Amino acid sequence: MTPLSGLIDQEIFFVPQFTLECGATIKQVPVAYKTWGKLNEAKNNAMIICHAFTGSADVEDWWGPMMGKGKAFDSRRFFIFCANSLGSPYGSASPVTINPDTGRIYGPEFPPTTIRDDVRYVTAAEQLHAYVP
């Protein structure tokens, strides 16, 4: 986990091990995320919001005008989930994450990641029920 991730109001889930598309395997991989609303019994009201620029899971910061009653991101209708992307300094696995093998931050040794890694990363957390309340 990053040293500053506690400054952000979000949840952290750890994927025990994750192999990146480049072939590198990272351990105790933090997935920082936020949710709004409630997952219904049928579990068919989930909305996953991804972003390309900031890496922050705080949808309200960058899509605020679209959130709220009767809007596209209505948490009364949807269970909204957003995870920080890999490489984000906002709490998910990144160069500022502590490498559990060394006890030091990864820094430039953090392996390269891809968009496909991000999709698999969020799916790994989902499969482990990381965000189900």
Strand order from edge to edge, sheet including 25-36: 11-19, 25-36, 79-83, 46-48
Kindly report, residue by residue over 26-56, the tens digit of the pLDDT: 999 888 888 899 989 898 998 888 776 567 7
Tokens of 27: 């351990």
What residues of the chain score a pLDDT lower than 50? Answer: 2-5, 130-131
Is the pTM of the predicted complex or chain greater than 0.85?
no
Side-chain half-sphere CA neighbours of 9 within 13 A:
6
Q: Are 25 and 100 in contact (CB under 8 A)?
A: no
